Amino acid sequence: MGLRLIEAINFVLLLVGFLMLILCVFLPYWRVRDQEQTVVDQIIYHDGIWLRCITYTAGNWQCDDYERYLFNLKASLNAARGLSLVAMFGSFAGLISALVGCSCNKTNANVKKWFKLMAGGWSIGSGICLVVGVSVYAHDIINNYFLNSDQYGRPTGTRYVFGSSLFVGWVSGAVLLISGAIYVCLGCGKVSESERYPRSFAYRPSQPATIAKEYV
């Protein structure tokens, strides 16, 4: 009962990490233009890996894609896109593997064990891809910030700071890594006889037939 509870909590953890990953990838808040440059016009410029947007103080906003071919974009943006898509596919595959390897399924214990290991592997791989993709994009923001600042930290050009999607991505990657490690631990170890042969399929040897004797 304890292992099943841990498994259920870990599945919810994996699901939360997957949903946070979706938010991180599709929300256009990977970078935000430095507020020191937008304090006059009260316009917020914020970019994602798929859209770049402008939000006005009145509440309306407008977005457009990058209107360029894939290979004309910056290497950091292409890397973030590719690694994020790989992380999305891997985390979804981890969810499916976790469902198949759930202890409540009436399948062979060895099969469930391997599916738990697969879920852990997919989750760990997804977490690594997401953290690397977000970190590569964040490193580009840092370089842009210092290239467009003077020795006193004042802006000399258009510079950006971290957006909220980056922090969501880092947290999501950590959650996927933790969940994957737990699934690997759940899938390791030997399968007990009670798990190998469930109660409903337990072997019960037939009783020897008794020969009725007639007494005269």
- Strand-pairing partners, residue 118, are none
Residue 201 has pLDDT above 60, yes or no: no
Question: Which of 46-55, 68-77, 94-103, 163-172 shows the lowest mean pLDDT across its residues?
Answer: 68-77
Token pair recorded at residue 158: 């258009």
> Which residues does residue 56 pair with via DSSP β-bridges, in sequence order?
43
**pLDDT > 80? residue 194:** no
pLDDT of 103 above 60: yes
For residues 189-201, give the mean pLDDT: 52
pLDDT-derived band of residue 58, with 50, 70 and 90 as boundaries? confident
Residue 63 region, left (φ>0) first, then alpha (ψ -120 to 50), else beta? beta
Place of tokens 């859209």: 51
As a whole number of angstroms, the distance between CA 34 and CA 156 comes to 12
Instruction: Provide the mean pLDDT of the chain.
Output: 82
**Closest C-alpha to 31, from 150, 151, 116, 158:** 158
Q: Are 127 and 94 in contact (CB under 8 A)?
A: no
* CA gap 176, 126 in Å, rounded: 7
Instruction: State the Rg of the chain over Cα.
Output: 27
pLDDT band at 190 (very low <50, low <70, confident <90, very high): low
Q: What percent of the chain has pLDDT over 90?
A: 44
pLDDT score of 202: 47
CATH class of 2-27+75-192: mainly alpha
Binning pLDDT at 50, 70 and 90, where does residue 43 land? confident
Question: Looking at residue 189, what is its pLDDT?
Answer: 63
Encoded tokens for 119: 């879920």
- pTM attached to this predicted model: 0.80
Cα torsion 148, 153, 159, 164: sign: positive
